[in-house]
Structure 1
Amino acid sequence: MKIHRPHLLKHTFNVVNRVRQTASVAGLSAFRVAKGEKPDARLLKETFEQLGTTYIKIGQFIASTPSLFPREYVEAFQDCLDQTTPLSYDYIQQVLESELAVDGHTLEDRFAHIERQPLASASIAQVHAARLHNGDEVVLKVQKPEVETIMQTDLGVLHGVTKLVELLMPSMKFASIAPIIDEIRLRMLAETDFIAEAQNIRDFQQFLSVSGNTRVVAPQVYDALTTKRVLTMSRLHGVSMIDETAMRQYCADPAQVMADTLNTWFASLLMCNSFHADLHAGNLMLLTDGRIGFLDFGIVGKLKAESWRACMGMMQALQDNDYQAMAKNMIDMEMTNERHQVDEAALATDLQRMMSAIMAEDKAFTSGVPFNSKEQADELNQMMLDIVDVGKRHGIHFPRDFALLTKQLLYFDRFMRTLAPDMDMFSDQRVQILGKSDLASSSTPVLNVS
């Protein structure tokens, strides 16, 4: 027992220190309210960002779960950034040594060189470039020290914190706090388990192999150098897929690259164990050899085949301005408790009214604003929230995975307006997804990435 006492004392100290920090930040927020500041979504977002890791993730959970939280909070947390000030490499080295300097090996045995300056830094992990002794270039995704202790402590005291939140923010309804916390815990544990992320990558690579897809690639995982807290992957070199000029150095037709990306993602929805749910511009890359790189599989989603077909039917109906069919497919998603209680005609009317307003206000179609502008990101979020709001009024409640999928589809739509403005996701012959004749069957989409 004496062997474990120093570790136990350190763990206890870290827990107590974290509780103290949390109480201090929450107390300051309460003081701001006492001085007359409005207890609104903005204040809660600022408080969460000050509290760090766990609460940033909770903020992102709120932003990606519009069916569960009030709209004002979903909107506020859309900008909850997960970019943090990098930690000194000395701290990262401690994690690397505890995870990889084992069985008589040192870090010098494992790596020929590790860059001290990180490539990126987020709340949970920091990414460093490295080189193996055989010359392989790799990236190390390293979990920051004490992240797991911080998260477990935060989640443990969250019930108490929500009492304060309820007091300060009456519009935040936490009546069903237990299932919410359980869901948050599951999502967070998945993001902090790099072995699970490595499996997500392997699942995707297996899907690429089975489908004969040679146009897309994901980083190779180095299993011997991967643990729950360290993920070692091959380093991919390329350019951003929102920079058409840079892309033309490595491809003849950026629009075809976009089609290949879409075909791969659509096919993965039914042919892979999970779908990549965070394919923003930073996680897509055109490699110098012309292939497409899918990066960062920390956030994935899963959707039943029936729900996916209904989703595609809804999107196709939207494309055709067929709001009756759009309403029918929304109801078919198995997201209602009692189908017969939904007035399909009234839902169709509300959808038509909503989309007409969106189309009238949508300046981004012709404005030429770059895709990564805040204006278009806000427009995307507003469209998703409008769809969810209409569904809510008719008893349709969207699970988080559907919100992830819908947001990704809308993201692709805006992506194409910059990279391939002549392409339509649902009618372009280069894009192969579930067609109208397939929506009633269980067939999988055809992969077309030749």
Structure 2
Amino acid sequence: MSLLPDQYDKYLRFFQFMIKYWNSDVFSIPEEQVSGSDNDNKPDEFGDSPEELAEDLKAMGPTYVKLGQLLSTRPDLLPPHFMKALATLQDDVEVVDYQVIEQIFREEIGVRISKAFASFEKEPLASASIGQVHKAVMHSGKVVAVKIQRPGIRKRFIEDLDALMALSEKAEKFSETARNYAVHDVIEELRYILLKELDYTLEAQNLSTLKSNLQDFPNIFIPAPINDYCSSRVLTMEFVEGGKITKISPLKRLEVNLEPLVDDLVKAYLSQIIVDGFAHADPHPGNVYLTPDTKIALMDLGMVAKFSDELQETILKLMIGLSNYDSARVTNILLSISTYNENDVDLDLFRKMIARKVQESENQKAKDLQTGRTIIEINQIAAKEGIHIPVELNILGKILLNMDQIVAHLSPEYDMHNTVKEYVHLLMQKRMKDNLKPANLMELFLEMKELTENLPFRLNKFTENLAENKIRVKVDAIDEHRFTEAFQKVANRITAGLIIAALIVGAAMLVRVPSSWTIGGYPAFAFFLFIIAAIIGLYLLYQILIKDEMKRKK
């Protein structure tokens, strides 16, 4: 890829940044940090502090500030003390003039601000790299927050992100570390998230979807968008009164029983992940407010995580395994959804390390911040061993880590593991009931119908090939005795199947033959043939489903 003249500055700034931080702790996660020791604000051996990293990102522009904020949601990639600095990263942006705000609103919505609202505060409540937020009152009296995107910000972000994509792709060609941590995939994922966040129409849809999904949780509040005043660059939604969840005073915690709120919050996020497959991906304390009527408000839906049906089931199994401290089950689930080269990975070492990590999490309470950290550290172990776990599990770990922090602040003695264990089992039962819905049963019936229709042809084809000696068995290693025994078992079962088929066909033909000896109105001989076929069939099923399974376990 050739570098255009107007891209030189972007590449130069990036390389200067990389040269400065390549040998620092930014690109390594020491073992003591993984285990959770407190190294906040501690400069590394090269003298580069987390605050200095934050300042350097500010100097590189708003795209890098936003990437820094997004990277703070990836604890599998950054040491804890750098993560904390990036989580609070805000660029020193100038406030957009009200005249520009008014012009953008009119271009996007088609009406003047003065017509749309009864009052509109010209001074913004907040101003960030993508946009700024103003408080307004509608003619109906409803108080709203209006978020308006900065002019020209989309073009600048796309240019910077394209440059990072090209650089990360080249980095993986020359750096083993970059390949192990799938740097290009990380940048691609961050690019996708950031471009989605630039479209306020999607955020409005996310607010509506999450509000609908969480309507059964009375203690959770999601601000509704005002769709008539929303576009790709303007987002108008209900104003949220209250303050950050972590700013609750000790007196408030004594006056109000916050445990029902904690219960609803934890269960709401488990439901988002496992049932809906659509989750608020960035529930850090700044996006979670306590309202005056003692509800938890979730805000900033620019970043959401989506989980496929298959991944939802995997996460459900993983959460059950973690809640039961079943390290073998957890390891098998992780390996089943990961990609790795068996020749380059020490699976025995990986299993041992996962077993230790899962066992360490036993008997921990919320104040120990264990649930999310366990998943994050599992991701770190996998990355170091060259095992690539789906990025969705990193998001899951970050969501649960934020949950741990919020829960620990609201109710330090709250038993997170017990709630997760009980609610996950409840979700498993609900999922099983959902599978029994008429639509699912109809699909199962159609599959069985297709199997029944094709079985005679396939059985006839198999026996024909068997008679003509066209059956071939390919094995890599043979235990002659076991192979002969297994083959004989297969032959016996095929013979039994043929006998059952012959008995059923013969009985069906005899049903039409008149007979004075009948049972239930059917010829007795035909009836006995059906009974014999059923007995043989049931015995064959017993051998296959129960006896063989018992032998396998032994």
Return the TM-score normalized by structure 2: 0.61
Q: Which amino acid in the other structure matches residue 84 of structure 1?
A: D
Matches within 5 A, 1:208-357: 208-209=214-215, 212-245=216-249, 248=252, 252-272=256-276, 274-332=278-336, 334-336=337-339, 346-354=349-357
Give, in whole Å, the separation in 2 of the partners of 1:45 and 1:419.
29
Question: As a proportion of its length, which structure holds more helix?
Answer: 2
Q: CA deviation at 1:215?
A: 3.1
CA contact (8 A) 1:239 1:247 kept: no
Measured against aligned partners, the alpha-carbon deviations of 1:214-250 in whole angstroms (never above 9, x if no partner) come to 3322112111211111111110212433344479499
Question: Structure 2 CA distance, aligned partners of 1:292 and 1:104?
Answer: 34
Q: Partner residue of 2:502?
A: none
Give the 3 Å change call, closer, same or farther, for CA 278–89 of structure 1 in structure 2: same
Cα deviations by residue, 1:229-273 (Å, 9 ceiling, x for unpaired): 111111021243334447949984111111111122222224435
Structure 2: tracts of 5 or more residues without a match: 27-47, 435-554
SS of match in other structure, 1:434: helix
Q: Number of residue pairs matched?
A: 406
Distance 1:421 1:176, change over 3 A: closer
Does residue 150 in structure 1 map to residue 156 in structure 2?
yes
User: In structure 1, how many angstroms separate the alpha carbons of the residues matched to 2:211 and 2:193?
Assistant: 22
Matches within 5 A, 1:11-160: 19=7, 22=10, 25-26=13-14, 29=17, 40=24, 41=26, 47-65=56-74, 71=77, 76=82, 79-80=85-86, 81-90=88-97, 93-100=99-106, 105-158=111-164
The residue number in structure 2 matching 1:201 is 207
Do the aligned partners of 1:241 and 1:247 also contact (CA within 8 Å) in 2? no
2-structure distance, mates of 1:414, 1:75: 15
Structure 1 unmatched ranges of 5 or more: 1-15, 367-375, 445-450
- Per-residue deviation, 1:195: 0.2
**Which one has more relative contact order, counting CA pairs under 8 Å at least 6 apart?**
1
CA distance, structure 2, for counterparts of residue 394 and residue 443 of structure 1: 39
CA separation in 2, counterparts of 1:177 and 1:259? Answer: 36
Q: How far apart, in 2, do the equivalents of 1:238 and 1:144 lie?
A: 26
Which segment drifts farther, 92-101 or 48-57? 92-101
The verdict on how the C-alpha distance between 1:266 and 1:356 changes in structure 2, with shifts beyond 3 A counting, is closer
- Kindly indicate whether the alpha-carbon contact (under 8 Å) linking 1:222 and 1:232 is maintained by their aligned counterparts in 2: yes
1:418 alignment partner, one of 399, 404, 409: 409
Structure having the higher Rg = 2
SS in structure 2 opposite 1:228? coil
Distance between the aligned counterparts of 2:326 and 2:334, measured in 1? 13
Q: CA 1:26–1:402 in 2, change beyond 3 Å: closer, same or farther? A: closer
Measure the CA separation in 2 of the matches of 1:169 and 1:346.
24
Separation in 2, partners of 1:44, 1:381 = 25
Distance in 2 (alpha carbons) for counterparts of 1:186 and 1:78: 23
Residues 309/237 of structure 1: CA separation in 2 closer, same or farther (3 Å cut): same
Superposed CA deviations along residues 127-161 of structure 1, whole A, max 9, x for unmatched, are 22122233221111121221101112213433565
Contact 1:18 / 1:153 at 8 angstroms: preserved in 2? Answer: no
Classify the secondary structure of the residue corresponding to 1:98: helix
The correspondence of residues 146-185 of structure 1 with structure 2, limited to 5 A, is: 146-158=152-164, 172=178, 182-185=188-191
Identity of aligned residues (%): 23
Whether the 8 Å contact between 1:220 and 1:234 is mirrored in structure 2 is: yes
Per-residue Cα deviation, 1:103-122 (whole angstroms, up to 9, x for no partner): 87322112233223332233
Residue deviations 1:42-90 (CA, integer Å, cap 9, x gap)? 68765433212222333345454567xxx45797456324422253241
Residue matched to 1:186: 192
Q: TM-score, normalised by structure 1?
A: 0.73
Cα pair distance change 1:417/1:296, threshold 3 Å: same
